[in-house]
């Protein structure tokens, strides 16, 4: 197919850099524009960015100019890594001008006409775009991906909710420092410490999980209505969010049934063989000490969720540990996969 022209908004930040690394050499997308703010505008990208990823800035990207986000952008698809205030200012304006915005920002996630899309889980929610274009009059669109914690949680919950039904859930997270963006948590707060509070995170996880796992009724998303208790903590891990999950499932399925459901889970991205799709969205490990961030966060190029320690819970029914890369599948990778899916399904 002819490559679609794409831009990265907020290109100098951590998630912006992940977008660039995922789009370099992409078979469907051609990166033609980068935007930023303040003193970075007008600079050569290689001079404006403090590059934080292990590999070098992709060839050809370092010489690209940093453009203002409110100026003309010669790209059909815009991947947004904008901070909250900038996303609120620019994303709707870009959609109105005809751009298709795939955003990692939280501003529009809970809007009734914006799909909070997790590519393997809730593709029917893209029908919200019809309402979005009809009611707002946009020639473009906005599609949001979820919070980095909720994305990996929802990948594990989706097959269990479909297969059995989740009656209640208790989740405790141990979230990596990179989830706070660069430079993140001050070193004297992070070292030798666990920070048991991430502002707004617990509420986001509950609301977003219930929207993603909800159903499209023909005009709106009906939330799943799963009672969830969530505790969020920041820990001294660079990348990779770990979550412990306890669930009550209808019918009290055996542990082996739960594992089989997780292992069998596939979605539309796998059926279509999308370029960024993991072969298995959920990888189940049987070792007693897995998953671990240093060993499992890069599973399937950081696009899979790894689940381990699946066992009986005498209080709720079943429990397990999950882990996923927070800036790849938990952020930029989720948006890229969403865009691939909508292109493949001729939605944009």
Q: Any idea which residues carry the catalytic annotation? A: 148, 241
Name beta bridge partners: 30. 5
Q: Are 271 and 281 in contact (CB under 8 A)?
A: no
Question: How crowded is residue 250: how many other Cβ atoms within 10 Å of its Cβ?
Answer: 13
Locate 218 and state its tokens. Answer: 């023909």
Q: Provide the phi-psi class of 300: left if phi over 0, else alpha when psi is between -120 and 50, else beta.
A: left
Q: Are 218 and 135 in contact (CB under 8 A)?
A: no
What does 295-340 look like in DSSP terms, one character per residue?
Answer: HHTTTTTTTSEEEEEEEEETTTEEEEEEEE-TTIIIIIHHHHHHHH
Measured CA to CA, the distance from residue 153 to residue 201 in angstroms comes to: 13
Q: Are 24 and 31 in contact (CB under 8 A)?
A: yes
């Amino acid at each position: 197919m002819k490559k679609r022209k794409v831009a990265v908004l907020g290109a100098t930040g951590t998630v912006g850099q992940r977008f660039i690394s995922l789009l370099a050499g992409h078979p469907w997308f051609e990166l033609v524009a980068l935007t930023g703010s303040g003193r970075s505008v007008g600079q050569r990208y290689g001079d404006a960015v403090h590059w934080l990823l292990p590999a070098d800035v992709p060839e050809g990207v370092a010489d690209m100019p940093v453009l203002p986000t409110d100026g003309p952008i010669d790209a059909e698809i815009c991947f947004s890594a904008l901070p909250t205030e900038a996303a609120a200012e620019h994303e709707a304006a870009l959609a109105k001008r005809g751009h298709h915005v795939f955003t990692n920002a939280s501003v529009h996630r809970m809007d009734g006409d914006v799909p909070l899309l997790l590519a393997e889980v809730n593709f029917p929610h893209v029908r919200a775009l019809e309402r979005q274009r009809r009611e707002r009059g946009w020639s473009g669109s906005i599609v949001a991906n979820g919070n980095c914690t909720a994305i990996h949680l929802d990948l594990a919950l989706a097959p269990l909710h479909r297969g059995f039904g989740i009656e209640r859930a208790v989740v405790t997270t141990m979230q990596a420092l990179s989830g706070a963006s660069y430079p993140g948590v001050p070193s004297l707060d992070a070292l030798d410490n666990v920070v048991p509070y991430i502002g707004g995170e617990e509420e986001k996880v509950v609301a977003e999980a219930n929207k993603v796992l909800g159903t499209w009724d023909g005009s709106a998303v009906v939330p799943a209505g799963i009672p969830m208790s969530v505790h969020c903590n920041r820990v001294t891990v660079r990348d990779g969010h770990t979550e412990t999950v306890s669930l009550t499932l209808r019918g009290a399925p055996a542990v082996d049934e739960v594992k089989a459901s997780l292992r069998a889970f596939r979605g539309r991205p796998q059926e279509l063989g999308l370029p960024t799709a993991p072969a298995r969205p959920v990888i189940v490990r049987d070792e007693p000490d897995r998953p671990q961030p240093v060993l499992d966060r890069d599973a399937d190029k950081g696009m899979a969720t790894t689940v381990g320690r699946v066992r009986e819970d005498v209080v709720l029914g079943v429990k397990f540990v999950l882990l996923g890369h927070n800036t790849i599948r938990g952020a930029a990778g989720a948006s890229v996969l969403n865009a691939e899916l909508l292109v493949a399904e001729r939605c944009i």
